[in-house]
Amino acid sequence: MLDVAPHFADDGTLARVIPGFRPRPQQREMAEAIARAIHGNRALVAEAGTGTGKTFAYLVPALLSGGKVIVSTGTKTLQDQLFHRDLPAVRKALKVPVSVALLKGRQNYACHYHVARAQLEGRFISRDDAAHIRTIAKWLLHTQTGDKSECTGVPEDSTVWIAATSTRDNCLGQECPNAKECFVMAARRTAQEADVVVVNHHLFFADVMLRDEGMGELLPACNTVIFDEAHQLPETASMFFGDSASTGQMLDLARDTRHEALASARDFMPLQDATRSLEKAAKDLRLSIPGENARLSFEQVAERADFLSALDLVEHELEQFVSLAESQAERSEGLEKCWQRATELHQRVCNWRRLNQPDSIRWVEVFSQSASLNTTPLQVGEIFRKQIEGNAKSWIFASATLAIGQSFGHYCGELGLDVLDPVPETGMWGSPFEYGEQAVLYAPANMPDPNSPAYLDAVVEAAVPVIRAAQGRTFVLCTSLRAMKHIHEGLESRFHREALDLPLLIQGQASRSELLERFRQLGNAVLVASQSFWEGVDVPGDALSVVIIDKLPFAPPDDPVLRARVDWMEKQGKNPFMDYQLPRAVISMKQGAGRLIRTERDRGVLMVCDPRMISKPYGKRVWQSLPPMRRTRIEEEVVAFLETLPPPATPAG
């Protein structure tokens, strides 16, 4: 078996090559456990507290194992960091001749065919989009990878990327006139040949289910799969093991078919007419559902006669569309592809409408411009277990937040790992940080019930003295968009009234990366945010000294998927709150708390406003799962602690 311990020693290979590397017993022990799992072809579920250095702990045994390894991350940001920074550093330190590859979903690679088509059509919503497509076209002439993250002249969230990239639906494959220079195919070929391939969870599951992006070929040849940020897997698996059909897909199908028909079937007007009829039917379906950014059960939308009639029309128009597209499919590869897409989309709508499976739920999600019809399995354990059995030899699940207390039972049960043969090994390595000295957990006294109309105002009231003492430098993490907006408005009013000259930011003002950069540079800012800032956000140093959490992060009780899962679990004789809702909330709390202390030198306060953490019996499970910070309910103690911190840096600029 591999002896990885010497590489983590004071004078080991990592210390000699990587600046700032410091040996940590937890990191070495975790690496040894991963080496054993790889050697024994076993599964390992590993929780490593913040600061353990889990990335190096799995990269060292992975690179030394000699087999093909897939590393899957929770976000594209971590994927890029792993590939461009951590992997090269460890490979250099170990002096191992392993080849590495980065593989993303096709929507991350510019497509020569679609960029040329977008320029030819010239239909852009804004001048910015028109300028962006020209920038992308120039960049295509010299990029080696086609990865849109490297095109610095166009924001990654620019709407023009939709027109400049391909989808699984509209890719022409080997029939594409630009097939030889295709960046997606080049990335797949490189991944096939590499020893270590870095992907992300969305790509992993999309590929396992669809066999679309090359994982169907990668997995059988793979010796080890490592999931970093593995706590996200149950949610991601639920998304991909289900099915969906959206009005956006219908509009894309109509647009692409119209383009292909103009090029190859201009004389067949019924197909042109069908594209317009489908567009209208799709838009009417969206308009039949009131509101936006909402999730509704099938029963809720089925009560609306206008929704059912709009759904009837969509089904009818898709059926007609399939017939007309089939009649012209032989005239070009593009039209054949459109016919295949229409057939699949029609089938998904029909399946959704007629679903009768007790272990799945139908629901609708509505956005400002679109709606999707979704089917989600109520438990993914059996499906996930079948996917991993027979593929690869060892599976490593790593995260800072997997256990509830000292138990991995909830996590292993959700993914079906508890019935693997042999069952996975588990390991827990605490953070090397001195939480008792570095941080305080503050639960303010006399907070009202979280369901009280006065609760959010009370959160603002309790937060202001803490923010003032910290001189800004605060994240306020909210459990809903409504709470985020209310708290932001309340803080804005109090800052004005008390002449607190602190920059106040809110999620949505700019992209997440831009907001984080602004927060770091200002040095004394307050950022009010919702779910997307609870994890994957790293602000080490003095710019962040306080994290305030408004409520325990239980999923909304009216969420249709949660309601169905609760009903299903009750029928199984289980306790949905203790077996599902509370464990999920604990893991989210651990993620939110993890934003505070990022280095050995950080100091700060975690403020949890929700009185249920103290007053309810289950609250004990929440705070016992949090890092061992010094605890208090006294505001003056918190203020005194914060006043010992160094003052914030002078804001940049």
Q: pLDDT tens, 618-637?
A: 999 999 999 999 999 999 99
Q: Where are the alpha helices (DSSP H) in 455-572?
A: 455-470, 481-497, 512-522, 560-571
Q: What average pLDDT does the structure give for the chain? A: 92
**What pLDDT score was predicted for residue 213?**
44
Helix axes 455-470, 635-643, angle to 10 degrees: 30
Higher-pLDDT residue of 107 and 463 is: 463
Q: How confident is the model at residue 172 (pLDDT cuts 50, 70, 90)?
A: confident
Q: How confident is the model at residue 221 (pLDDT cuts 50, 70, 90)?
A: confident
Q: How confident is the model at residue 205 (pLDDT cuts 50, 70, 90)?
A: confident
Q: Which residue has the tokens 């979903």?
A: 105
Calpha distance 197→211 (Å, rounded): 17
Most confident of 237-241, 310-314, 331-335: 310-314
* pLDDT above 90 coverage of the chain, percent: 74
**What pLDDT score was predicted for residue 648?**
86
| Mean predicted confidence (pLDDT) in 101-106 | 91
652 has pLDDT over 80: no
| Model confidence, pTM | 0.90
Name the β-bridge partners of 230: none
Q: Which residues contact 604 (CB under 8 A, 6 or more apart)?
A: 438, 439, 440, 470, 544, 545, 546, 547, 596, 597, 645
Domains and CATH numbers, the chain: 5-99+194-239+380-429 (3.40.50.300), 106-184 (no CATH), 243-377 (1.20.1440), 437-643 (3.40.50.300)
In the three-class reduction of DSSP (H, G, I as helix; E, B as strand; rest coil), residue 365 is classed as strand
651 has pLDDT over 60: no
Q: Where are the alpha helices (DSSP H) in 11-86?
A: 13-17, 25-39, 54-64, 76-81
Determine which helix (DSSP H) or strand (DSSP E) holds 621, and give its type and residue range.
helix 619-625
| Mean predicted confidence (pLDDT) in 365-380 | 93
**What pLDDT score was predicted for residue 240?**
87
**Type of residue found at 262:** L
2 has pLDDT over 50: yes
Which among 310, 329, 571, 396 is positioned nearest to 40, based on CA atoms?
396
Q: How confident is the model at residue 211 (pLDDT cuts 50, 70, 90)?
A: low
End-to-end C-alpha distance for the chain, whole angstroms = 54
**What pLDDT score was predicted for residue 536?**
82
**What are the structure tokens assigned to 202, written together?**
């969305």
pLDDT tens string 112-167: 999 998 888 777 767 888 899 999 999 999 999 999 989 988 887 788 898 899 98
| Mean predicted confidence (pLDDT) in 442-459 | 96
Q: CB count, 10 Å around CB of 407? A: 13
**What are the structure tokens assigned to 629, written together?**
């910070």
| Mean predicted confidence (pLDDT) in 301-307 | 91
Q: How confident is the model at residue 245 (pLDDT cuts 50, 70, 90)?
A: very high
pLDDT tens string 8-53: 999 999 999 998 898 999 999 999 999 999 999 999 999 999 999 9
In the three-class reduction of DSSP (H, G, I as helix; E, B as strand; rest coil), residue 623 is classed as helix
Cα-based distances in Å from 540 to 458, 481, 543, 601, 603: 29, 26, 7, 9, 10
Calpha distance 220→110 (Å, rounded): 28
* pLDDT above 70 coverage of the chain, percent: 97
Q: CB count, 10 Å around CB of 512? A: 16
Calpha distance 83→98 (Å, rounded): 13
**What are the structure tokens assigned to 240, written together?**
């991909």
3-state helix, strand, coil in the chain (%, to 5): 55, 15, 35
